[in-house]
Amino acid sequence: MASSLNFMSLMFGYRTISMLTLACAVAAMLTACAATAQRSCAPGEQRVVNDLVYFGTAKPAGVVTAEEWDDFLRVEVTPRFPQGFTVWSANGQWRAADGSILREASYVLNVVHADDKAGDASIDVIRAHYRVRFAQESTLRVRHAACASFQETETDR
């Protein structure tokens, strides 16, 4: 519960939130998730999951280098999602387990994949391996239901 409240405190500018307000916010989010899950895709689109995974780069002895990140992508991500993914560098802030506020460079991994157990398990394994390999306290996953399609050129048809 403490980590949930810490997350909610971060979301709402460190203000104290009553349990009623918290319950209403959770109910609204769940309703929105249910509505999104039931939405159908347009013709030519397919249901997918759009995962964003945030990886901090600070580690006990320095930071995750660009070379280490590239190796991690090659060894851990590419074999699990050979169809493709997108990555970018970011800067973030988060509250550690000890309550301190940390700012650090990070990487964001965006993977669009089938809404199935294999894709979810692959994301979980990638996150676990990153935490172990780079001595991370946590990673953040944001999962969205989506519809996707590729637009082909006339020569591709």
pLDDT, tens digit, for every residue of 22-60?
Answer: 344 445 555 555 544 557 999 999 999 999 999 999 999
CATH number for region 41-149: 3.30.70.120
DSSP 73-133: IIIIITTT-TT--EEEEEEEEEE-TTS-EEEEEEEEEEEEE-SSHHHHHHHHHHHHHHHHH
* pLDDT tens figures, 75-126: 999 999 999 999 999 999 988 889 999 899 999 999 999 999 999 999 999 9
